[in-house]
Structure 1
């Protein structure tokens, strides 16, 4: 049975992706920090007929994240699809001239250490399967840095570079690495940034397996 692990799952995009992949027969593993909210999300999706389990971890604590992914593999088998899409903290978005080196610790832990730890945990299983997909989801500052959002601009750039390197290195092994850049907020009912529309885009990226960076909407939207 194929499985997807969604890191940073919430009631918006995470739930929509769980529904999309769940309808395709995937077992779904959700990773989030808040156990109460996670249990509510799992219960709601299970009531819709989705095979889903919840696992707690803070992405800024790599040991927690790797342990959760290890538990997922033990429960559901090797992770075939990894989606890394936690929502950044507001305090990562300081103006560049107000950003000191200590202000970058959180963003780098969140957007670099987290995905690196997650990828290294799931990659052996993907290699055993002979296939896999790694999906990185970022805001618009991953493509165009913003002077008032220095932390995410810098950390997303590093995450993008890491993902692009993986894309080039792993393509020959049947493992596809891609990034979805979502300019602006995720908006229910929006033609291009509704959670279900974004989930459909991510499913298409998993299926089509071409290119690294994809855009959910125009950058000036």
Structure 2
């Protein structure tokens, strides 16, 4: 599948946009002709990222919101869909890193983290769905923590296993409509150099979105 623009410029909405992988994803898709919607909690971060992509609001639009606030996040994604008139790729990036082992982690803390790392995907997809048509894609930044959880940050593995499971459900649900979902499991630690830089991971996510629908995989490992 080609991700090149056709009649109108395609649109990517990046949820939890920031300076790491999500920022690299936003810039890479912009380089391939996509207009970009950025959803993030930090006004400074989101606006700096937007300014680094384009100054024209027809090309990039920032939305500052806590994605765990269902009503506010729904409104933010809806505004982007209405402003651009379409959403071709929804990229979901957030997770919570809480340095607590399973004997010190409280239930409330676990549920709070899962609300960010898993629940916010539901909010984002449900808000984006009216603006997505056949050929649209949902991509998610996954992690080896789904398979090899660290007890030092017990909630992270739960989030990553949960979001990967949810992606598979979304893909099965939306497949008849021509919309596909994929998580890219990053089997390494992000770094400033080498195979696990944010830019390299972004390239893997771009490739995952462009895979052949007839040979689609809802989970792709990135080994670097």
TM-score, normalised via structure 1 length? 0.88
Partner of 2:20: 12
Gaps of 5+ in 2: 1-8
Give the Cα–Cα distance (whole angstroms) in 1 for the partners of residues 211 and 59 of structure 2: 24
Per-residue deviation, residues 47-94 of structure 1 (Å, max 9, x unmatched)? 69x9211111112211121111011011111211000002x3332x41
User: Could you say what secondary structure the match of 2:37 adopts?
Assistant: strand
Give the Cα–Cα distance (whole angstroms) in 2 for the partners of residues 203 and 176 of structure 1: 14
| Residue 64 (structure 1) aligned to one of 61, 67, 72 | 72
Partner of 2:34: 26
Give the Cα–Cα distance (whole angstroms) in 1 for the partners of residues 200 and 83 of structure 2: 29
Gaps of 5+ in 1: none
Q: How does 1:1-221 map to 2 (within 5 A)?
A: 1-46=9-54, 51-86=59-94, 88-91=95-98, 93-126=99-132, 129-191=133-195, 193-209=196-212, 210-217=216-223
Q: Post-superposition shift, 1:2?
A: 1.1
CA contact (8 A) 2:96 2:117 kept: no
TM-score, normalised via structure 2 length? 0.87
CA contact (8 A) 1:2 1:25 kept: yes
Q: Post-superposition shift, 1:17?
A: 1.2
Instruction: Report the more deviating stretch, 100-109 or 67-76.
Output: 100-109
Give the CA RMSD over aligned residues.
1.9
CA contact (8 A) 1:143 1:181 kept: no
Q: Post-superposition shift, 1:202?
A: 1.1
Instruction: Report the more deviating stretch, 107-116 or 145-154.
Output: 145-154
